[in-house]
Structure 1
């Protein structure tokens, strides 16, 4: 997170108003809700994990065991169970 001096970006009147409530402290101003993106959306990690999980479910339906999948995908057996038994609608909501 990058810090910005308020006097460099805000009107003087607004800085003076903010100083009534907080002075010399760090103030976090969150993004608007509509500007938020889900985890992994920028890096593509979310998409890669979804594809991995689909491959894992397909392998499970084709007869691979939980133990085999855990070893193949380097995950714990409990994590594999959560993935293969989860309904498609429940993923990443």
Structure 2
């Protein structure tokens, strides 16, 4: 489990008392406000890495590199390569 912050350390006493009417002695998750969360992979850069990799795979496929060769080169399954090269959303 991730580190947690004690509510008594960060919340005003009146708010803490109000929350205690609903939950006591349990872990409570408070989500970030809508719109403030970043999508998966944006912080780590992994989303951009995959987008660049997939663009390279599509480019090579257009240059007549076979699905078998691409699967071997990129250590991906044939099905994964097919999903990448035949994806019309990219």
Report the TM-score, using the length of structure 2 for normalisation: 0.94
Matched with 2:9 is 8
Post-superposition, which runs of at least 4 consecutive aligned residues in structure 1 deviate over 2 A? none
Deviation at 1:54, TM superposition (A): 0.4
Pairing of 1:10-89 with structure 2 (within 5 A): 10-87=11-88
Mapped to 2, the partners of 1:16 and 1:58 lie a distance apart of: 60
- Cα separation, 2, equivalents of 1:42 and 1:18: 32
Q: Deviations over 1:41-76 (max 9, x none)?
A: 111111111111000000001101111111000001
- Bigger helix fraction: 1
Q: 1:22 & 1:10 partners in 2: Cα distance?
A: 15
Unaligned 5+ segments in structure 2 are none
Count how many residue pairs are aligned between Structure 1 and Structure 2. 89
How big is the alpha-carbon RMSD for the aligned residues of Structure 1 and Structure 2?
A: 0.9
Which blocks of at least 5 consecutive residues in structure 1 are unaligned? none
